[in-house]
Amino acid sequence: MKLNNNNTSNSKNGNQKIMKFEELGIIKPLLKAITEKKYSEPTSIQVKAIPLVLKRNDVLGCAQTGTGKTAAFAIPILQHLYHERRGKSNSRKIRSLVITPTRELAIQIAESFTNYGKFTGIKNTVIFGGVKQKAQTDALRQGVDILVATPGRLLDLMNQGFIRLKDVEYFVLDEADRMLDMGFIHDIRKIIAKLPVQRQSLFFSATMPKNIVELSRKILRNPIKVEVSPEAPTVEIIQQYLYYTNRASKKDLLLHILQDSDIKHVLLFSRTKHGCDRIVRNLKKQKIKSAAIHGDKTQNQRQKALAQFKVREIRVLVATDIAARGIDINKLEYVINYDIPNIAETYVHRIGRTGRAGEEGNAISICEPEENAYIKDIEKLIRRKIVIVKENPFPQTEKPMTANEKKEWEKEKQQRKQEFFAARRKKQNRLK
């Protein structure tokens, strides 16, 4: 079994011999924890990154969620801190800082540090917004070696005087592309300005557009680039199916798909937060257990929904791309794209939630006329045709709108939206 394996054998370096964690120079307390988790073979990103981090190189990593990159930086950082703490006093300072964009991903990374560092005595804690800060500040007062944080809450607690970064020796910026997409660039710059100049920095991003490369140059010193490309293997392992339908038929087509009793556990992607809520309302009307996670949900609501989904109390978890970043569900067999993403790489990220560690995976996409062009972009990226489902009770009969039709439709959509919120405000005022 591979550690957080998501089809990383197709690396840029071609075929590699199968290695064991013991061959990477990892110390016994960490190997004991890795063995306890029943992991034996490191993934491609781990094979490449761990030795570099142990040698104190700055690393620029191009790898998606699910490739095992968390272990690629967590294991060597724990090893450095373990050696440095031996023979020292019990007082703890923040020696390692990991920044990540979402609450879910921050929690997952902190859990990884806890699991891998079980026998090292190294302490970590995680901070994020959307919840009261007292439990987080109490943990900080007790002292931690590793801090995992989202940018907003970190800056907030820094401004309140709870956190100082002057002792940080190991800095990790994870999911950098998503960080910029979410508008955190100014927060990141403020945080970097407070870090010691002498430090080891690790920078991970699923994609490497120009703005990401420019940001990495401001953080890293003489970095070594590590790259893995899971796109092709993802396509090989996951069975992909496509339904062409009309916009108005999507709701009915989804219910038709979910009549299949084999689809017991599915992560469904919607483009918008309102779309997530609307889908859940429709599913609940049909007695299908479901929940939504997105940015408007509280942290407790999101964690409750995710926990229920993991133990299969919920059949369908509906999520936006940002909220789903970092979600790791064991043995997830189905992903449904209710909306086709307009960025082809996002499709690969989505379907990569299933088919992990060699398990069976299935991806089903529901495409309306306005999204037909996105399918062409996706097929060009993955270099294969997605199987079109012929037995479709709601086939696509409409053509994509012209520019004028689309403009008029957007105008009507905005008007309906304004009317909806005006009616809701009126109702709330009556209840006061």
> For 176-214, how does the pLDDT look when each residue is reduced to its tens digit (9 = 90+)?
888 887 788 899 999 999 999 999 999 998 777 788 888
pLDDT band at 394 (very low <50, low <70, confident <90, very high): very high
Region 94-112: mean pLDDT is: 92
Tokens of 252: 């009915």
Angle at 237 between CA 236 and CA 239, to 5 degrees: 95
Q: What is the pLDDT of residue 429?
A: 73
Region 11-17: mean pLDDT is: 44
Taking only the tens place, the pLDDT of each residue in 364-381 is 999 999 999 999 999 988
Domain ranges of the chain: 21-229, 232-388
C-alpha dihedral (399, 400, 405, 408), degrees to nearest 10: 120
Q: What is the pLDDT of residue 405?
A: 67
Q: What is the pLDDT of residue 53?
A: 97
CATH of 21-229, one of 3.30.2000.10, 1.20.1260.60, 3.10.129.10, 3.40.50.300: 3.40.50.300
pLDDT at 119 over 80: yes
pLDDT band at 110 (very low <50, low <70, confident <90, very high): very high
pLDDT at 355 over 80: no
Region 48-55: mean pLDDT is: 96
Q: What is the pLDDT of residue 87?
A: 61
Region 143-172: mean pLDDT is: 96
pLDDT band at 391 (very low <50, low <70, confident <90, very high): very high
Q: What is the pLDDT of residue 233?
A: 47
pLDDT at 1 over 50: no
pLDDT at 43 over 50: yes
Question: Ranked by mean pLDDT, which of 75-89, 263-277, 404-418 comes out on top?
Answer: 263-277
Tokens of 230: 């899971």
pLDDT band at 102 (very low <50, low <70, confident <90, very high): confident
List the single range of 4-13, 65-74, 149-158, 316-325 with lowest mean pLDDT: 4-13
Cβ–Cβ under 8 Å, residues 58 and 21? no
126 forms beta bridges with 148
Q: Give burial (CB, 10 Å; 0-12/13-18/19+) of 114.
A: middle
Taking only the tens place, the pLDDT of each residue in 207-234 is 777 888 888 999 999 999 998 764 444 5
Mean pLDDT across the chain: 86
Q: How far apart, in Å, are the Cα atoms of 248 and each of 114, 119, 260, 366, 398?
A: 47, 56, 21, 12, 10
**Topology agreement, domain 21-229 and domain 232-388:** yes
List the single range of 77-81, 170-174, 304-308 with lowest mean pLDDT: 304-308
Q: What is the pLDDT of residue 18?
A: 63
Superfamily designation of domain 232-388: P-loop containing nucleotide triphosphate hydrolases (3.40.50.300)
Q: What is the pLDDT of residue 251?
A: 96
pLDDT at 326 over 90: no
